[in-house]
Chain A
Amino acid sequence: MSDSRRAWTVPAALLIAAAVGCRQDTQDVRGGAVGDRTLPQSQPAVLRAADTTGLPAEGALARVAIGDIAGVGNNTLATQMKNPYSGDMAAITQGQELFVGMNCAACHGYDLKGGMGPDLTDTYWRYGGSPAAIYKTIFEGRPQGMPAWGRTIPPALIWKVAAYIESKGGAFPARLADRGRQGDLADEDTTAGSTLKGRNNVY
C-alpha cells in the first residue's frame, strides 16, 4: 500500500466507527423519553426454545414413583430418566445460586449436610434419590414440611437445582436409580461412567 493510502486508513476507520456508534445513539434519542427504546423492527422477538426443549416431559415424570411404592419394579424407565443438566457446570452454578436464594440452604445446610431438613449428601433418600425423584420432590413438596416449588420455579431451573444436588455426591445416577432405592449403592462408587470426576463436592 502506498504511503498516502496508509495514512488515510486510520482516520477512515475511526470515522466509520464513530458514524455507526452515533447512529445508535441518535436512534436512542429519537425514541423520545427515557427508556422508550423498543426493539428495532427488523428483529422479530423470537422466543428462545432452549428453556423447554430437551427437558423430560411432565407426563413422563408422573410415572416416577415416590420412594418404594410396591409394583413399581415393573416400570423402571421413568425412574431412570436423565437430568439434562447433569454435570453441566454452568447449570450447577446457577443451581447453587438458586439453592441459596430460594432458602434451600437454610433448611438443608450451606454444605447440604442437613439441619432443619435432611442431609442431601448421603445415600439415604426418603422419597428416592435418582435425578427424576429429586426433581419430583422439589416440584411437588413432601409431607414433612418440604415446600412445593413447581408453581414457583420453572422446570428448567428445578432440573438445575437437581444437578447441583447431584454434584454433591449423594444422588444416585439415573442408570442405577432402582438399585439405589434400597440403599444397595451405599458403598459403591456410583460415579463410574458419569460425567462427574469425583464423588464429593465438585467445588
Chain B
Amino acid sequence: MCTERARRARRRSALAALTLVPLAACNGTTSYLDAQGASGHPAAVLGVWLTAISGAVVAIVCVAILAGIWRHRGEHNAPQVEDARAKEEHDGSAGSAAARREIRSGLRWIYIGIGATVVVLLLTFAGTMVTLDAASRPREVPSLTLDVTGHQWWWEVRYSDLHDPSLGFVTANEVHLPIGVPVRVRLHSADVIHSFWLPQIAGKTDVIPGQVNEMWLQADHAGTSRGSCAEYCGLGHAVMALAATAEAPAAFARWAAARRAEASPATTPALQAGELVFVRSCGACHAVAGTNALGRYGPDLTHLASRPSIGAGALANTPENLARWIRNAPALKEGSRMPALALDDADLRTVVAYLTTLR
C-alpha cells in the first residue's frame, strides 16, 4: 500500500544516513574536533557538546516518533479525529470532553518539550558564550606576534617582538609555537581571500585582502601537525599547507635564533658557485639572508633545507625533488607562480647542492 511503502522508504533512508556518521572519523589529523590549543580546544569541546545534544535531540524525537508509530500501528488516526470532531458538532459539549482530555495530554508533552528545549538552548547559549570568551582573548597579552601573509599559494610567516625589532625574522610555510605561550597572529593577504587554519591548534580565520584580521593561538601539547588554507583561492589551493610545530619554549627560542641567523657562508668553491647561480637566477624573487639575494616575490629560502616540504606541501624536501621543482614547478603544482627555469644541468646541480646546505 502507499503508506506502507512510504514507511519502508523512510526507514531505509534513516539507515543510510546513519552509515555516513562513522566516515567523519576518517579525517585523521585535520579535523577541527582534534584541536588541542587553548583557543581551539574550547571550540572543539563546544562542537562535541553541540553534536551530542543535537544527536540526543534527534534520538529522542526519532524514538518518540517511532514509539508513536508503534503504539498506534494498525489504527486509522484520520477517521478517529474526524469522528471526534463530527461527534463534537453533533453532541455539543458532552462527547468533546474526552477529545479535550486527549488534546490536553498531547499539550502536556508539548509543554514538556518546549520547557526542556528552552533549558537546553539556554545551557547551550551559555556554553557558547563561555567558549567565545575563551577563544577570543588570551589570558595574558601576547608578546610574540606572527604576521602571516597568504599568497597564492604559500604562506609568508614573519615573527616579531613587540619591544625589540631586531628579534624579528621571516620564514615560509612553517610555524613554530612555544607551548603554553599565547601568540598573536595578524593575517594579511597579498592577493585573494585565503583562510588560515591550524586544525589541531585553533579555528579558521579568513585572510582578506585590504584588511588585517587578528587572532591568537596557544599550543598546549608538543607535536607537529598540518595546517592548510581553508578558503578556495585558486588552482593551488589544495597545495597550500603549513607545517605547524609546537615545542617547549627553550626549543622554540633555539629554533627562532637559528631562523634569525643568516645563511652560513659558502666556504667551498662549489658552494660559492652555487650561491652565484642562486643570486643570479633566483635572487630576484627569493631571499637568502647573508647573500645579495633578497627578493620578496617568492618565499624566503634562508633555511630551506630544514623545512619539511617544498612548494607548501607539494613535494617532500629532497634534493631530487628540488631539482624537479626548479626545472618545472608549474608541472608539479598547477598554477605555480614559479616559472620553469632554463638552467643547464651543471648549474642546476650546483644550485641544488647549495640549497641543501641552507639549514
Contact = CB atoms under 8 A, between A and B. Distances in A.
Interface size class of B (residues with CB under 8 A): 35 or more
Contacts of B17: 11
Contacts, number: 111
A101 B286 CA distance: 12
B28 interface: yes
B280 A152 contact: yes
Nearest to B6: A3
A154 B342 contact: yes
Contact of A33 (B9, B308, B324, B340): B308
Interface in A46-93: 46-48, 51-52
A25 B30 contact: yes
A52 B330 CA distance: 13
B283 interface: yes
Contacts of B241: 34-35
A25 B27 CA distance: 6
A7 B309 CA distance: 46
Interface stretch (B18-26, B92-100, B157-165, B203-211): B18-26
Contact of B308 (A10, A34, A38, A45): A34
A192 interface: no
25 contacts: A3-B5, A3-B6, A8-B12, A8-B16, A11-B13, A11-B19, A11-B20, A15-B16, A25-B26, A26-B26, A28-B29, A34-B224, A34-B243, A34-B308, A34-B313, A35-B308, A35-B309, A36-B316, A39-B332, A45-B332, A47-B327, A48-B328, A51-B330, A52-B340, A155-B342
Interface in B1-54: 5-6, 8-10, 12-13, 16-17, 19-20, 23, 26-30
Chain A binding surface SS class: helix
A18 interface: yes
B26 A51 contact: no
Contacts of B55: none
Contact of A34 (B23, B226, B342): B226
Interface of A: 3-4, 7-8, 10-12, 14-15, 18-19, 21-22, 25-26, 28-29, 33-39, 45-48, 51-52, 101-102, 149, 151-157
A9 B58 CA distance: 22
A8 B224 CA distance: 41
Contacts of B331: 45-48
Nearest to A37: B313
Contacts of A35: 226, 241, 243, 308-309, 313, 316-317
B297 interface: yes
A52 B340 CA distance: 9
Contacts of B339: 51, 153-154, 156-157
Nearest to A102: B284
Nearest to B17: A11
A138 B327 CA distance: 22
Contacts of B327: 47
A152 B285 CA distance: 9
Contacts of A14: 20
Q: Which among B243, B309, B327 has the highest number of chain A CB atoms within 10 Å? A: B309
Interface string B319-337: 0000010011011100000
Given A45-B324, A149-B284, 11 more contacts: A3-B5, A3-B6, A25-B26, A25-B27, A33-B224, A34-B244, A35-B313, A35-B317, A36-B309, A51-B339, A154-B342
Nearest to A51: B340
Contacts of A155: 342
Contacts of A157: 339
